Structure formats: C-alpha cells, structure tokens
Amino acid sequence: MRILLVGAFAYPHHQGSQVYFQEQAIALRAAGAEVELLTYASTGSSSGASSDDPNRWRALDGFLHHTAPAWTAPRSAASGPNLGKPLGDFGLGMTLHDAIASQLEINQPYQAILTHNIEACVISLLHRMTQLRQSPPVIYCVHTLMQYELSAYANSLKSNRNPRRLSLIQEVKQRVKRVIDGTGEQADAWAARRADGWIALTQSSARVMRAHSNKPGALIPPPIPDPRRPAAMPSPSELPKPSERPTPGQYFLYSGNLDPYQELGLLGEAVSRLPPELTRRLPILVASHDEAVHRPGALPPGLEAVSVTSESEMTALIAGARATLVTRRAEGGFPIKLANGLACGTAPITLLGAEWGLTHGVDAYVADPARPVESLATALTELAADEELAPRLGEGARKRWFEGHRPEIAATETISLVEKVVRDAG
C-alpha cells in the first residue's frame, strides 16, 4: 500500500502536530506500508531541529520527503493563524499536484492521502475535486476542532484595570469568540462532509465527524514509541549537567509550547494559591523548546522556566516528574505532551478526562474544568501530600499507553481504515 502523508506545517519539528505526523509515518512504514511525506518548506530558523539532532534523522530516515518551494515557506513555525500560511498553503498545493502527477507517470499512484491539519485536508480535497480521476481518496486526520481552537488565538486582547474598559474588552472578546467559533464549526463540518474518510484523536472530534460524515472513520489515539526502550533513553551528553537536573519525583512539569490555548494562566493562578513551602519543595517547571520561555512576563509568577534542546532531554524531564500538567480545556485535540507522559508512566493532571480516554483516580488526576483554578490547586496539593498517589496513577498511565498508544496498534487500525476507504472509493 502506497500512502502519501500531507502536513500543513514545517517538518521535522518538535511541536505536537509534527510529532504525531512523524510517529504515524514511522508506524505505518513498520507495518509494511510505503510512505512518502509532503509538507511546507521550512526556514532554518523555523525548522525546530538542527541537522545534528538525532530526532531529525529519525524523522526523515528512509522517507521520500516532498517539500513546497522555499520561497513559500512561512517565516514562523508557530501554531495558529499567521500571515505567512496562505503562501505556504499555495506552495503545498503546487507540490501536491506535482507529486501525484509524477507518480501517475510511472504508474505507481498513491492509494490514499492522509492529511494533517485542516489546511492540508482542504488543499487535498480541492485537488481531488478538480482532478477526480487522478487523485487518490483523502483521509482527514483531525488534529483539533476549529470550533474550539481558533478562538483561543483571539485571547491576546489585553485586560485593563479600569472596570469600564475591562467590561468592554470582555464583551468584545465574547462577540469575537462567537463569530470565530461559528466559522470554525462550519470549517469542521465542510471537511467532514467531503473527506473520503477520517481519523479522530478524541471523543469530541469523533462525534463531530460522525455527525457530518457518512464515510469510514475511526478514533485512533496518536502513536507514541516506548521511551523505556534502551535505544530511546537519552545519552549523558543530552541531559543537563548534574547540578542543573531537578531531583526525580520532586517537581511538577508542564512541557511544550506557550500558545494561548494551553491556558498556562490558569496554572499560574492555581500556583498563587499554594503555600510557598510547597512550591519550594516541589517546584512547578515549564519546559519548552521555545527560548521565549525565559522572556520577562512569558510565564505567570510561580512557574520556573526550563530550556530544552532535544527530545531526549524532554523525555527525561517528563519521566522524572512527580506529575505532568495539561491545562488546556479546548476539546478536539490530543496533546502529544500527554501521550508522552502516559508512555513514560508519569501521572498526568488534566482538565479533561473521557475526552482523552482517562479516568480520574485510575490513570490521571482529572481536575474540574468548571473550577479550573481551585481544582488544579487541589490536585497539586494532594499529589504533593500523598507520596503513593503519583506512582499509582503513573502505573495506570503506563497501562493506558500500552492499551491505546503503542505504534503497532495505531498502524494496524489505520491500515484497516485506509483499506476500507480505498474499497469504498473504488
């Protein structure tokens, strides 16, 4: 089976969307599929992986990687809307057309296209609509729901201490949110109705897809390789110096980007309610590949910034944490940071449970999204006080990874779905 993975982003990169794309590709290849990749071009500053990064070679090794023309590359690889993406999408469409045409010329057509991010899905569907006899079926891998995520990027309007202005700003933000959420909901429905098949990562995404699509689909959580394999363990050179390493089990960890939808402000408010002796004993660390983590004002007071330069270093930090923190409340996407924590057997503190297949008290501490600040503070307090709680939840987290996130499981279910889509489309 020949499959083309199309991603509307620069690749390789440490962000969650690219990691999911990467691990899906590696898992499918290991299961016997012939896999090619097609993504934006990337600038040196936005690629997120240096040429000597071991993860970069793992991400590219053995794959034919089609990239859009360099002049179409967005300057920033950050998630969310930006002015460079329309040109990047144009380049992606050109490259997709050329890749499909070149394979037809040698009589080795792709049997399916797996699209990552809604832009890639729309571009692939437009090609299919205009080149019906020459374009393979399109399967939409639903990274997130636009109806929930887009409005998170509109939350950059600054608050003001003036009560009148604060009230006005809140009213404007609510109106903007309603408009953006409605637009995002229409985009989700459009993609669901027109795709030949779909893969959802979460319960809410699966519900939306089923509501608007009569095509084959499946809920398949993102695959994550076993970090406990000897080959996956970081070498000493990849870890911080001993004097800079936090003591295992003696810190809480948020890992990943600093985008608005991550809602780190909630964590900051929760930490402000904790007694100082707790945070001195168990600091709350924010580990990120983004150097902006150290800029003044980048983090709420009470959170400590940690720069990370490699995936192995991040994995070691996750594995050593007493618990990881996932503070987003937006449904639709599956945080790769959460999947990494499950694979490491580290207890997660989250604000969503069933959405990601988690059960409070079994494989996670699921706080209350309706009372996020209070319940996050309670979660940190209880996990700090009970020395047995985090290890017990960590065992459940590792079991959850084993049952749902191993690459071989995801590959088998994905190939089965692709075969069904191909049969139906043929």
| pLDDT interval class at 45 (50, 70, 90) | very low
Q: Do 295 and 410 reside in the same domain of the chain?
A: no
Please check whether residues 203 and 291 belong to one and the same domain: no
Task: Report the percent of the chain where pLDDT is more than 70.
Answer: 86
Instruction: Give the pLDDT band of residue 291 (cuts 50, 70, 90).
Output: confident
> What's residue 230's pLDDT?
67
Instruction: Look up the pTM and report it.
Output: 0.90
Q: Is the pLDDT of residue 170 over 70?
A: no
Across the range 76-99, mean pLDDT stands at 85
Instruction: Using the predicted structure, report yes or no on whether residue 393 has a pLDDT greater than 70.
Output: yes
Number of structural domains, the chain?
2
For 118-142, how does the pLDDT look when each residue is reduced to its tens digit (9 = 90+)?
Answer: 999 999 999 988 876 678 999 999 9
Check whether 158 has a pLDDT greater than 80. no
Q: What is the pLDDT of residue 173?
A: 66
Q: Does pLDDT of 243 surpass 80?
A: no
Note whether 392 and 312 are same-domain residues. yes
- Domain match, 237 and 219 both: no
Same domain? 70 vs 87? yes
> 413 and 398 in one domain?
no
Q: What is the pLDDT of residue 179?
A: 80
Contact 380, 346 (CB under 8 A): no
Averaged pLDDT score across all residues of the chain: 88
Residues 7 and 119 occupy one common structural domain: yes
Residues 203, 190 share a domain: yes
Cα–Cα distance between 58 and 53 in angstroms, integer? 9
| pLDDT at residue 149, as a whole number | 76
Whether residue 241 sits in one domain with residue 176:
no
Domain interval for residue 72: 2-223+406-425
Shared domain check, 212 and 130: yes
pLDDT tops 60 at residue 298: yes
CATH code: domain of residue 69: 3.40.50.2000
Structure confidence at residue 47 as a pLDDT band (50, 70, 90): very low
pLDDT at 408: 97
Do 55 and 161 lie in one domain? The reply is yes
Q: Over 90: is that where the pLDDT of 107 sits?
A: no
Q: Are residues 234 and 276 part of one domain?
A: yes
Q: Is the pLDDT of residue 54 over 70?
A: no
Task: Select the more confidently predicted residue: 45 or 337.
Answer: 337
Exposed, middle or buried by CB within 10 Å (0-12, 13-18, 19+), for 106?
A: exposed
